[in-house]
């Protein structure tokens, strides 16, 4: 028996097509997610998200005359704890990379079923980086390519005094390693015998100390430092 009910997942749906936007919002609500708002374009998305503070923003990239990438950056500037899951008709690699670089936590194409979409929203709320199959490898591959192009090995750059990893506690480092391996906060809690909220607190503290915005950036950071290698 649970000692407390699970955290409620609040969602905002952003899409410039009213029928699609309303349909997705209705389907998610029917599956137990609380849709607190919808928005048709980037300026409205930033404004409404700031007012309603959803846990997850489900967002298209093509928003008519505006672009979802601008909305992602705008929302995260105001609500750094919010997680953004892109749901787009485009599977173009550059669109995926642009969204992730702006701060998106994941990326699905619109061919996903409602069951897949619901699961993705829940996993995003729980701290996972969720991608349509094949896209996660693209993102991590790009991060590795950028690291190589920048001349970074992930292990030898800079002195210890300059390494922000040294500001992390041992437990925060443990959590960082598991986040980078793709584990959700609940999975990490089980592995480390911690509460879900304690794991989330460690993640937020790590993001703050490393000046990062989301778990995708944490994963890149861990790859750069070799923290994903098995000992």
Question: Which tens digits make up the pLDDT trace of 10-31?
Answer: 999 999 999 999 999 999 999 9
Instruction: Tell which residue, 215, 208, 223, has the closest CA to residue 168.
Output: 208
Look up residue 56 and give its two tokens: 């997850």
Look up residue 156 and give its two tokens: 């030898």
What is the residue-wise DSSP string for 82-145?
A: -EEEEEES---HHHHHHHHHHT-SEEEETTS-HHHHHHHHHHHHTT---B-TTHHHHHHHHHHH
Question: What sign has the CA pseudo-torsion 43, 28, 127, 196?
Answer: positive
Q: Please tell me the distance from the alpha carbon of residue 188 to that of residue 51, in angstroms, as a whole number.
A: 31
Q: Please tell me the distance from the alpha carbon of residue 87 to that of residue 168, in angstroms, as a whole number.
A: 34
- Model confidence at 102: pLDDT above 90: no
Comparing 17-21, 211-215, 227-231, the range with the smallest average pLDDT is: 227-231
Q: What mean pLDDT do residues 145-166 have?
A: 49
Look up residue 11 and give its two tokens: 């969602």
Q: What is the pLDDT of residue 145?
A: 63
- Model confidence at 156: pLDDT above 50: no
First to last CA, the chain: 37
pLDDT digits (tens, 9 = 90+) for 181-204: 778 788 888 888 888 888 888 888
Q: What is the pLDDT of residue 149?
A: 54
CATH architecture designation of domain 10-136: 3-Layer(aba) Sandwich (3.40)
How are the residues of the chain apportioned to helix, strand and coil, as percentages rounded to the nearest 5?
55, 15, 35
Q: How many CA atoms lie within 13 A of 57 on its CB side?
A: 38
pTM score of the predicted model:
0.67
Residue 89 burial (CB count, 10 A): 14
Q: What is the pLDDT of residue 155?
A: 39
- Model confidence at 106: pLDDT above 70: yes
**Hey, where are the domains in the chain?**
10-136, 143-224
Give percent above pLDDT 90 in the chain.
Answer: 31
Q: What is the pLDDT of residue 178?
A: 85
Q: What mean pLDDT do residues 130-158 have?
A: 59
Q: What is the pLDDT of residue 2?
A: 38
CATH of domain 143-224: 1.10.10.10
Q: How many CA atoms lie within 13 A of 211 on its CB side?
A: 2
Q: What is the pLDDT of residue 57?
A: 96
Residues 66 and 41 sit within 8 Å (Cβ to Cβ): yes
**Residues 54-75: b if buried by 16+ CB within 10 A, e if exposed:** bbbbbbbbebeebbbbbbbbbb
- Model confidence at 214: pLDDT above 80: no
Q: What is the pLDDT of residue 50?
A: 95
pLDDT digits (tens, 9 = 90+) for 55-92: 999 999 888 777 888 899 899 889 888 999 999 888 78
């Amino acid at each position: 028996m649970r000692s407390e009910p699970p955290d409620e997942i609040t969602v905002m749906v952003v899409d410039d097509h009213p029928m699609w936007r309303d349909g997705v919002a209705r389907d998610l609500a029917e599956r137990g997610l609380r849709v607190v708002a919808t928005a048709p374009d980037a300026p409205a998305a930033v404004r409404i998200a700031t007012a309603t503070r959803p846990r997850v923003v489900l967002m298209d990239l093509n928003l008519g005359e505006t672009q979802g990438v601008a909305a992602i950056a705008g929302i995260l500037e105001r609500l750094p704890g919010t997680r953004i899951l892109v749901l787009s008709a485009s599977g173009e690699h550059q669109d995926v990379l642009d969204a992730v670089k702006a701060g998106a936590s994941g990326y699905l194409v619109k061919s996903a079923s409602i069951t897949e979409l619901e699961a993705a929203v829940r996993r995003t709320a729980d701290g996972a980086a969720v991608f349509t199959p094949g896209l996660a490898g693209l993102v991590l591959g790009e991060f590795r390519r950028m690291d190589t192009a920048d001349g970074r090995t992930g292990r030898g750059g800079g002195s210890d005094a300059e390494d922000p990893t040294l500001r992390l506690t041992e437990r925060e480092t443990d959590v960082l390693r598991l986040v980078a391996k793709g584990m959700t906060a609940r999975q990490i809690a089980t592995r480390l015998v911690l509460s879900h909220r304690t794991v989330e607190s460690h993640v937020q503290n790590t993001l703050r100390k490393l000046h990062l915005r989301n778990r995708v950036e944490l994963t890149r950071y861990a790859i750069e430092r070799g923290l994903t290698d098995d000992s």
